[in-house]
Amino acid sequence: MTISSSSFPQRALRLGAAALASLCLLACTSTPSTPSAAAPVSATPSAAISQTRLRGVYELVYSSTNNAIYVASMGERFGDGKGGFIYQLDANTLALQKTIELPLKPFALAIDNRAGILYAGHSLESTITAIDVATGAVRGTARLELLNDEGKAIRTRQLLADEATGTLYVGGVGKGGILWVLDGRTLAQKQVLRSPDGKSIGLVLDADAQRLYTGATGAFEVIDTRSLSRVALHTVPKPPGQEDSYGRYFVNLAWDSRTGRLLAAESTYAGELFVFDAQTGKVLHTVETGKSPVGIRFNPVRNEVYVANREGGTVTVIDASSYAIKRQIALSLHPNSLALSPDGQVLFVSVKREFPKQGELAPMESVVRIDLR
């Protein structure tokens, strides 16, 4: 079944802004304050942890170009009408190296290390900014204008860069699947994919097989990136006794290329890692990780899966073969977004606090560096 390319308005997803907030795309703000010195954080004894503090942090990504961590920050106050920042931190020390000021508040980040381009997603304005990694200069912006049934702009969520093709995928929060396909170099819009029974909240790419996986409520979808057509839609039933409740919510995805497994953080019910056979859609295993899992990463070097449990205040480390929980790393409050160093030995985590009210000063939050050895 081919996914249609259209501009029809559709009704926003249930949960709307609340879902966005829990997925790292709405609320807090932050200013270009200097991070505090690295400090210890409580954790299991085997994990060596340091942190730096910033206001209003959201997603983070690792840059192999300069061995740096880029962190999206919303600015000082929620609802102040001002822009935000991207902080460049030294990946070894978390020392602040550069502050990139933007006219809009960034929430989502993606990076094309091959092309040296950092992408920022401004969810409230449905806008994407491309930034040159070498200089920190803005290369361009693109407004993704698509309206729901109420005539309001559909907000963007996750960004995914395909380094092999120079394509940028942008998921939207709406009823059904909404996916913008952009030229990653120019930000020119190539196509909009709409799928009434698909979803586009979580995104992950199998670059070798040229397959894009999208997931959200009760299903994950498989898209051929060459033809931009659907290969499959795999649905997952609700737990027994929950037939009239909200479906399983696969908020973020990860990919294991060696075994063809799709890994998903499911946040509606018990708070679980779901492991799928990506080809058949069969559920191979589930692991209860903690309350409200959000971020997820697969580490092929250590054969581990990491899940950030936002409300549980932990990062779960899971053996990718046996599915045994190796340890729970305790972090203060709300672990959110995850990134890995290329050698697979360091995990980076953004840790949030409670959302501020309108006009309130955003709290100091954390970027945490975990030496997995």
Residue-by-residue pLDDT tens, the chain, 373 positions: 333 333 222 333 333 333 444 444 333 323 333 444 333 344 444 448 899 999 989 999 999 999 999 999 988 876 778 899 999 999 999 999 999 999 999 999 999 999 999 999 999 899 999 999 999 999 999 999 887 777 777 899 999 999 999 999 999 987 778 999 999 999 999 999 988 776 778 999 999 999 999 997 889 999 999 999 999 999 998 888 887 777 888 999 999 999 999 999 998 888 999 999 999 999 999 999 999 999 999 999 999 999 999 999 999 999 999 999 999 999 978 999 999 999 999 999 999 988 777 777 777 899 999 999 9
For the chain, what are the domain ranges? 4-39+62-293
Q: Which helix (H) or strand (E) holds 18?
A: helix 16-22
DSSP code, position 119? E
Amino acid identity of 138? V
Alpha carbons within 13 A on the beta-carbon side of 137: 3
DSSP of 232-268: EEEE-PPPTT-TTSPPPBEEEEEEETTTTEEEEEE-S
pTM: 0.88
- How far is it, in rounded angstroms, from Cα 342 to Cα 340? 6
Strand order from edge to edge, sheet including 304-309: 293-299, 304-309, 314-319, 325-330
Q: How far is CA 8 from CA 41, 44, 92, 118, in A?
A: 48, 50, 47, 30
Q: For domain 4-39+62-293, is the CATH number 2.102.10.10?
A: no
CA 73 to chain centroid, in Å, comes to: 14
